[in-house]
Amino acid sequence: MSAAGGPRALSPPDIGARKGKTPLVCLTAYTTPVAKLVDEHCDVVLVGDSVGMVLHGMSSTVGVTLEMMILHGKAVRRGLQSAVMVVDMPFGSYEESPAQAFRNAALVMTETGAAAVKLEGGESVAETIRFLTARGIPVMGHVGLTPQAVNAFGGYHIQGRGEDAERILRDAMAVAEAGAFAVVLEKIPEALARLITQEIAIPAIGIGASPACDGQVLVVDDMLGLFGTFRPKFVKRYAELADAANAAIAAYAYDVRERRFPAADHVFSDEPSTVSGGEDT
């Protein structure tokens, strides 16, 4: 129980202790209303730099700024009670040095109330992960397809096929050994994801990876079907909200043009209503 008497929120050590147990449920969130919805069902809520593409119309995550992540992190924090909130460190905010990473990660955590940050990369960021965790900043890793390196990869291509599998395995091992409490495996072959999950001591959270992973994460807008044409192979659509929203907006536009809205129920009279159940003030 918390000091306020409510249920205790999960922590990064709680997530780390879930290795090999009930799979972890993770989704992204960028706003307070969505955070409230996912909090009830998720163990981890990721304020992903995917916000740049999902909400801001960017072509990649490379242009996302620290200020954007802090803004959306604050919004998500207001909607959470129990899930662990992890905030992505955006491109350019941690690669220069461990000291730079600490300054920016500390800023993110103090400004947003995040429980942890997420860094992309494997062996190249292991020293930084070690530096951060030694100074009280929990870190989630991210290997495989790392979207911030899209320009180096030449696109959002699957990683770890053939001889490249050894590189991804080394990256995951390096992240785990450096002290990360969990690691995201993105868009790698299923057999490789299964092997990594077996080999590392921390939870592996898959996205386009394997059902054998210790958990799964998706972009919430993808799984809700809020995009009409964007359909990655690794996403299961649990709803088609774009279609429902389009139909609702079309119905509203029709009613306005036909003067069917607002109707009598939606306007105010000269005298307060005595009918209960509705606002009339």
How many residues make up the chain in this entry? 281
The separation between the first and the last C-alpha atoms of the chain, rounded to the nearest angstrom, is 41
Cβ partners under 8 Å of residue 31, min gap 6: 72, 75, 76, 79
Cβ partners under 8 Å of residue 247, min gap 6: none
Confirm if 137 and 102 have CB atoms less than 8 A apart.
yes
Q: Which residues pair with 277 in a beta bridge?
A: none
Active site residues: 186
Amino acid at 44: V
Cβ partners under 8 Å of residue 64, min gap 6: 49, 51, 52, 56, 58, 88, 90, 91
Cβ partners under 8 Å of residue 100, min gap 6: 93, 94
- Furthest-apart CA atoms within the chain: distance in Å: 78
Neighbours of 252 (CB within 10 A): 12
Confirm if 198 and 152 have CB atoms less than 8 A apart.
no
DSSP for 36-79, written as a single string:
HHHHTT-SEEEE-TTHHHHTT--SSSTT--HHHHHHHHHHHHTT
